[in-house]
């Protein structure tokens, strides 16, 4: 537990920006879907938490803007942040977001990767990428989200409606959306999206 605690509390590796999965879950007025996502995610076998700043377990609470945990993957433990973002101004047109974010310095430290320019073309550990992809697909099965994407420092950058207009895709973002939203996405952007059933 000492190594885990030291890793979790190490501020020196809590920097560098986030590599993250961001999910535009539902309109803000729908709180059930965000609770469903939290209830599922925090019971995954390789996810521990949420924890407070002393690594003491706390209750899952969708009203907490951020919750912190530890993912066990490829025989290693990596701290992460999970965000519950409820856009409230105005609540009638806002959305719920569910983000899973890993500090890039933490990824490099835990998996002993060379420092890199994450905004250019991130070299992500395949097992971490697989975890994010598997998680988004499982969450989609529970409650079909509007849009999700994976990239470096990408939270809040895109909404589903951005893919129907003038998309400013300045990154290497991987987009995911339900097949039922295919007609809403401009033809020239469809090759950027993986459609889910």
What pLDDT is stored for residue 79 in this prediction?
96
Judged against a pLDDT cut of 70, whether residue 147 lies above it is answered with yes
DSSP 104-135: HHHHHHHTTPPP--TTT-----HHHHHHHHHH
The answer, yes or no, to whether residue 5 has pLDDT greater than 90, is: no
User: What's the DSSP call for residue 43?
Assistant: T
Does residue 136 sit within a domain?
yes
Residue 169 lies in a domain: no
104 and 111 Cβ atoms separated by less than 8 Å: no
Domain assignment of residue 51, given as a range: 2-160
Confidence of residue 170 (pLDDT cuts 50, 70, 90): low
Report residue 133 CA to chain centroid gap: 10
When divided into structural domains, the chain yields a total of 1
CA 104, 17, 192, 22 dihedral sign is positive
pLDDT at position 42, please? Answer: 98
Q: Which residue, among 9, 1, 17, 31, has the nearest Cα to 115 in the 3D structure?
A: 17
Residue 59's pLDDT is 96
Mean pLDDT for 88-97 is 86
Provide mean pLDDT across the span 124-151. 95
For residue 151, the Cα-to-chain-centroid distance in whole angstroms is: 9
CA neighbor of 149 nearest in space, from 120, 116, 128, 177: 177
Encoded tokens for 97: 């977001």
Rg for the chain (alpha carbons), in Å? Answer: 17
Residue 144, phi then psi, degrees to nearest 5: -60, 120
Question: Would residue 140 count as lying in a domain?
Answer: yes
Question: What is this structure's pTM?
Answer: 0.93
Provide the mean pLDDT of the chain. 90
In a domain, 135, yes or no: yes
Listed range (92-96, 114-118, 142-146) with the worst mean pLDDT: 114-118
From 21, 119, 127, select the one nearest 73 (Cα to Cα).
127
pLDDT tens across 18-61, in order? Answer: 999 999 999 999 989 999 999 999 999 999 999 999 999 999 99
- Is a pLDDT exceeding 60 seen at residue 139? yes
φ, ψ of residue 80 to 5 degrees: the values are: -150, 170
Q: Which residue has the tokens 């529970």?
A: 142
Give the rounded percent of residues in the chain with a pLDDT score beyond 70: 97
Q: Say if 194 falls within a structural domain.
A: no
If pLDDT is split at 50, 70 and 90, which confidence band does 127 have?
very high
4: tokens are 């885990």
Flag whether 191 is in a domain: no
- Can you tell me the distance from the alpha carbon of 195 to that of 181, in angstroms, rounded to the nearest whole number? 9
What is the reported pLDDT for 78? 95
- Is residue 156 situated within a structural domain? yes
**Interval 114-121 mean pLDDT:** 76
Q: Is the pLDDT of residue 8 over 70?
A: yes
Lowest mean pLDDT among 74-88, 104-118, 180-194: 104-118
Q: Are strands 147-152 and 174-178 parallel, antiparallel or unpaired?
A: antiparallel
Residue 130 lies in a domain: yes
């Amino acid at each position: 537990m000492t190594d885990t605690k030291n890793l979790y509390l190490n501020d020196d590796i809590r920097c560098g920006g986030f590599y993250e999965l961001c999910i535009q879950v539902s309109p803000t007025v729908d709180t059930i879907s965000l609770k469903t996502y939290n209830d599922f995610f925090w019971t995954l076998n390789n996810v521990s938490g949420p924890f407070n700043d002393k690594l003491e377990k706390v209750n899952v609470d969708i009203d907490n803007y951020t919750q912190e945990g530890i993912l066990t993957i490829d025989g290693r433990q990596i701290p992460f942040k999970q965000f519950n973002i409820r856009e409230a101004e105005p609540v009638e047109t806002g959305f719920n977001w569910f983000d899973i974010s890993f500090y890039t310095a933490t990824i490099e430290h835990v998996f002993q990767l060379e420092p890199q320019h994450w905004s250019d073309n991130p070299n992500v550990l395949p097992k971490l990428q697989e975890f994010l992809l598997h998680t988004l697909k499982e969450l989609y099965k529970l409650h079909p989200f509007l849009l999700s994407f994976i990239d470096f420092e990408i939270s809040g950058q895109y909404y589903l409606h951005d893919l129907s207009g003038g998309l400013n895709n300045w990154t290497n973002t991987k987009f995911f959306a339900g097949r039922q939203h295919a007609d809403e996405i401009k033809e020239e952007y469809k090759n950027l999206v993986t459609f889910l059933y």
